[in-house]
Amino acid sequence: MFSSKKDSNGVKMAKLATLVAHNVHISGDLEFSEGLRMDGQVTGNVNGRPGEETLLVVSDQGAIRGNVSAYDVIINGSVTGDVTVAHFVELQSNARVLGNIYYQKLRMDIGATVEGKLTKFDSQSTSVPTLPAPPGYAVEFDAN
């Protein structure tokens, strides 16, 4: 299903080494390496191991109530919390994010919803910007 080659969107499809199945609910923080497919629910923060090119996939059945941090993130389920992505975030048509998204590259499909701020940071910076975006800022979409 997923290989270790790059998708046309720029996401490096890591081996999805871990699966949280649809009937699993985890309470507590979760740290993963390589790739994680989330079909179940997590109440807690979900973080890719720092310094690694991790991939988090939240399926249409998946839900996270906590902050998310990873190298690449694909969301088609729900996240209630802030999402920090070092490289690329894709919000598919069923994505529901209640929180701020900090990203380098963003793709958002029709139907996805975000209730929060979208903040782009440059590729040289690995930290989340500390200044809030000015009122009425424009959202940038990178078609590469």
Q: What is the DSSP string of 2-62?
A: --SSBPTTS-B-----EEE-TT-EEES-EEESSEEEE-SEEES-EEEPTTS--EEEE-TT-
75 vs 138: which has the higher pLDDT: 75
Backbone angles phi, psi at 34, to 5 degrees: 55, -110
Tens of pLDDT along 10-22?
Answer: 666 557 788 899 9
Establish if 135 belongs to a structural domain: no
CA dihedral of 85, 50, 52, 142, whole degrees rounded to 10: 10
Of 34, 27, 37, nearest in space to 59 by CA = 37
pLDDT higher than threshold 80 for residue 35: yes
Enter the pTM of the model. 0.78
- Token pair for 17: 């080494």
* Closest of 84, 86, 87, 91 to residue 108, by C-alpha: 91
Residue predicted with more confidence, 54 or 13: 54
**Structural domain count of the chain:** 1
DSSP symbol at 74: E
Residue 117 forms part of a structural domain: no
Q: Hey, what are 118's tokens?
A: 């979208």
In a domain, residue 65? The reply is: yes
Segment 81-140, tens digit of pLDDT = 999 999 999 999 999 999 999 999 999 999 999 999 999 987 655 454 433 333 343 444
Domain annotation covers residue 6: no
Distance CA 121, CA 30 (A): 25
Residues facing 47 on adjacent strands = 31, 69
Whether 82 is in a domain gets the answer: yes
Closest CA to 36 of 56, 53, 52: 56
Is position 67 within any domain? yes
Is residue 27 included in any domain, yes or no? Answer: yes
Q: Is residue 143 situated within a structural domain?
A: no
Task: List the domain range (segments joined by +) for residue 79.
Answer: 18-109
